[in-house]
Amino acid sequence: MRSAPPNPRGRAQLDQLRAKIRAIEPESLAVSGRVGVRAKSGKASAAERLNLPSGLHEICPADYLDTPSALAVQTGFMVQQLRASGRKPPLVWVRVSGGQAQDFGAPYPLGLMQWGLPPDRVLLAETGDTLEALWAMEEALRAGAWLIGEVGKAAHYDLTRSKRLNLAARERDGLALLLRAHDAVGPSAALTRWRISARPSPGQAWRGATGLPGLGHPRFRAQLERARGGPPAHFDIEWKHETFHVLEPAPMAHARPDPVRTQNRRRA
């Protein structure tokens, strides 16, 4: 029995749907230049992996006490992406007022200035509950703003709502950085998920009489545990009040020879 010929109208609708899906899915996380520009080929370097494509990205602390570090990296990521893009979009910070999920205080204007983010560019929106916060985040993205959000361990933030946030950000070529709790579980549609922990800072020369080392630049371990279009990775990064610097491991100066290889050579 011969099958019926395909419906031309149905085939056209299917082609349109496939085109929309291809437009939503990123080709790679190897980004260069500005937010939303995707590399077509080649292996991404560490600096390129830290340059985020437009869409939704999640920042998670490795532990509860790493939450301030995650907030700092979230702010640093936003500053880096703003400078890389050369754009000046409205910036909205959305959080639940008095929320118990992240209890390390509200954004501090002087701290934002030290990280290169002028407080007068940030519109802080505090809501009564998580549902209102998620609604405000989506509306801000659809209006063309870039988003810094805090959802903590909220159960209302699920796969469906994360898809809406990611789509709203990508439709306006925007960026959404969302802070989750260290023990948050559940799937999401975020393009990347970063796990942040604090790292020891190098000592700096101290000019006082005691000779004690001064405070070094803040350092963090950024673990890319989920990435669409790229493998997981981890980076040690340092903030120098200008941008993130990836700390590449130094080559070994005096490597010990492999005893097994040395013994085989002697036998040969």
Q: Is residue 75's pLDDT more than 80?
A: yes
Residue 258: predicted pLDDT:
52
Of 79, 99, 92, 70, which is closest to residue 223 (Cα–Cα)? 70
Tens-digit pLDDT profile for residues 92-133: 999 988 755 556 878 888 888 888 888 889 999 999 888 999
% of the chain with per-residue pLDDT over 70: 66
Q: Which residues contact 90 (CB under 8 A, 6 or more apart)?
A: 123, 140, 143, 144, 145, 146
pLDDT of residue 134: 94
Global pTM exceeds 0.75: no
Task: Give pLDDT, residue 202.
Answer: 77
Higher-pLDDT residue of 191, 34: 191
C-alpha dist (Å) from residue 15 to 18, 27, 133, 167: 5, 19, 36, 20
| Residue 19 structure tokens | 């085109």
Residues, the chain, total?
A: 268
pLDDT at 32: 29
Worst-scoring range by mean pLDDT, 9-13, 75-79, 255-259?
255-259
pLDDT digits (tens, 9 = 90+) for 254-268: 445 555 555 555 555
Q: Is 65 helix (H, G, I), strand (E, B) or coil?
A: helix
Cα–Cα distance for residue pair 146/130, rounded to 1 Å: 19
Residues 62 and 223: their CA atoms lie apart, in Å, by 9
Residue 2 pLDDT exceeds 90: no
CA separation for the pair 122, 148 (Å, rounded): 10
Q: Give me the chain's average pLDDT, please.
A: 76
- Asked if residues 220 and 69 have their Cβ atoms less than 8 Å apart, the reply is yes
Task: Give the start-to-end residue ranges of the domains of the chain.
Answer: 46-202+213-250
DSSP run (H or E) holding 236: strand 233-239
Q: Has residue 57 got a pLDDT over 50?
A: yes
pLDDT(22) > 80: no
For residues 92 and 115, give the distance between their C-alpha atoms in angstroms, rounded to a whole number.
16
Average pLDDT on 57-77 reads 92
- Joined together, the tokens standing for residue 206 give 């101290």
Q: What is the 3-state secondary structure (H, E, C) of 108-140?
A: CHHHHHHCCCCHHHEEEEEECCHHHHHHHHHHH
pLDDT category at 232 given cuts 50, 70, 90 is confident
For 192, list phi and psi in degrees, rounded to 5: -140, 155
The more confident residue out of 266 and 194 is 194
pLDDT of residue 26: 41
Q: List for the chain the helix, strand, coil content (%; round to 5).
A: 30, 25, 45
The CATH class given to the 46-202+213-250 domain equals: alpha beta
